[in-house]
Amino acid sequence: MSLIRDEDAKFLREDFDKKLKNTVDLVVFSSESSDCKYCKDTISLVDEVGALSDKINIVKYVYEKDKEMVEKYGVEKYPATIVARHDDKDGRIIYYGIPSGYEFGSLIEDLENVSVGEADVSKKAVDLISKIDKPITIKVYVTPTCQYCPKAVITAHKFALMNKNIKSEMIESLEFDKEASDAGVSAVPHIVINDDVTFPGAYPDDQFAEYVMEAYNHQE
């Protein structure tokens, strides 16, 4: 049974034909362990998305076996889905947990943004994010039913696309419930930057960028 409805697949195929410019790698790290409840579904979803355009290149790794690639992409858990420029071993735009529900839309937007190589953000956000010259990690905790979460995820992923010093992670709170609890997640979206600056909600990109700069300045 397909995870993507026929009418949605038709729309996405036509949308990708218009918007995908360069080949994008959609990389999935799964596990053969029985404790990974959504690994098979994540692989199925990635395969279905990849079948919609010849500009989407699917790459699959097993977390326990492909340790060299785990290290290259900076993957910390599974299932993990990465959107990267073709042949870039780059894990800056990453989903931990299946990108389903409202987050499926985030995945599609990421594919289109990475393919073009640019993102639509405000001038103020561009000015702030361009100043980042040290590693920054943005974690966005979500649930699949949260309609406000994709805005936060996409903003964080856009920042990672804009600046190679930024890594942006979507983390599905229900799949990684202990981690979410340890991070103090009580409502989503819940954003944690460098395990230092924390805030809830989906803010406009310029305000989000100010929080990123706050975490950056704390490093100095």
162-171 pLDDT tens trace: 999 999 999 9
| pTM of structure | 0.96
Q: Provide the pLDDT for residue 12.
A: 98
Q: Provide the pLDDT for residue 220.
A: 65
Q: Provide the pLDDT for residue 145.
A: 95
Domain check: are 22 and 111 in the same one? yes
**Where in the sequence is the domain holding 137, given as residue range(s)?**
123-218
Q: Provide the pLDDT for residue 4.
A: 95
Domain check: are 151 and 175 in the same one? yes
Instruction: Report the number of distinct structural domains present in the chain.
Output: 2
Is 165 part of a structural domain of the chain? yes
DSSP class of 150: H
Which of residues 116, 135, 150 is at a domain's end?
A: 116
What residues in the chain have per-residue pLDDT under 70?
A: 220
SS3 at position 123: helix
Domain check: are 129 and 207 in the same one? yes
Q: Provide the pLDDT for residue 219.
A: 83
Q: Provide the pLDDT for residue 2.
A: 87
